[in-house]
Amino acid sequence: MLKDTVESFGWVSRLFHWVIALMVLGMLAGGLLLGFLPGGGFKSLIVGLHKSTGAAILVLMIFRLWWRYINPRPRDLGPNAFENQLGRLMHVFLYVLVLLQPIFGILMSQAFGSPVRVFGLFTLPSIIGRSDAAGAVFSQMHTITAVLLAIAVAVHIAAALKHHYVDQDRTLMRMISGK
Ligand code: HEM
Ligand code: HEM
């Protein structure tokens, strides 16, 4: 099934979810690793990969939101209205964080005068001029959003496991297999 229905997620939404989930988890771990790496060729390689993958996440998120907009929304399966509402709020929060994080990363890099080259193919147009002060602000935002994102993802995974093992509903399975 290509498109989402009121009952479940189609394969496009599932693919978006799992590809972006893996990328975001990798980016959180990779970003953390960056802090421990000594400066040099290897670090530049990892930073380049981090920036390229982050830019790719931003593009994927735009398509994902468009797809979400033109599809019906699968109904909530939680045990009560409060938890369903909480789940919806959490998904909006995740979407916002995953959109903001690459934007802050791009603004930080450009403000620090480091162009964003995407997988060695092309360079993103500059949206902000060189300014160390602005770079420092976006660097802080990038750190804060990363922490919020890590917490939100941990809660999100715990909620998915609660649905599966405690409530024993189809929430996790319909995101995995669509059934
Ligand atoms: C969803 C996307 C992204 C995630 C989850 C992410 C996550 C992280 C994390 C966890 C750190 C370590 C934070 C710290 O040490 O304070 C980091 C550092 C960094 N990120 Fe990202 N990032 C993303 C996208 C981007 C993008 C698109 C760029 C630039 C184009 C970028 C550029 C950087 C740079 C240059 C650093 C190291 C320097 C610094 O923090 O001052 N990131 N990122
Ligand atoms: C790796 C473990 C993960 C598991 C087990 C998991 C599980 C799920 C499940 C079961 C749903 C469907 C919820 C529903 O039907 O209402 C869902 C939705 C969602 N997940 Fe995850 N997820 C994971 C990672 C992530 C990550 C890393 C992100 C983003 C950073 C993420 C973002 C989202 C969003 C935004 C939705 C809402 C989809 C929509 O209804 O539009 N997930 N996830």
Q: Could you report the per-residue pLDDT of 125-139, keeping only the tens digit for each?
A: 999 999 999 999 999
Report how far residue 9's alpha carbon sits from residue 11's, in angstroms, rounded to the nearest whole number: 7
Query: Is 86 a domain residue?
Result: yes
Kindly indicate the confidence band of residue 51, based on its pLDDT and cuts at 50, 70 and 90: very high
Structure tokens at 171: 């929430």
Report how far residue 48's alpha carbon sits from residue 58's, in angstroms, rounded to the nearest whole number: 16
Query: Is 101 a domain residue?
Result: yes
Is residue 98 within 8 A of residue 57, CB to CB? The reply is: yes
Ligand with minimal distance to 29 CA: 1
Query: Is 41 a domain residue?
Result: yes
pLDDT for 179 beyond 90: no
pLDDT at 150: 98
Give residue 21's domain range: 11-176
Is residue 77 within 8 A of residue 163, CB to CB? The reply is: yes
Query: Is 149 a domain residue?
Result: yes
Residue 76's alpha-carbon distances to 7, 85, 87, 152, 171, in angstroms, are 9, 9, 9, 19, 8
Total tally of structural domains belonging to the chain? 1
Query: Is 3 a domain residue?
Result: no
**Phi, psi for residue 123 in degrees, rounded to 5:** -110, 135
CATH code of 43's domain: 1.20.950.20
Query: Is 2 a domain residue?
Result: no
Pocket of ligand 2 (CB under 6 A): 17, 21, 24-25, 68, 74, 87, 91, 94-95, 98, 153, 156-157, 160, 171-172, 175
Kindly indicate the confidence band of residue 104, based on its pLDDT and cuts at 50, 70 and 90: very high
- pTM score, whole prediction: 0.95
Q: Is 89 helix (H, G, I), strand (E, B) or coil?
A: helix
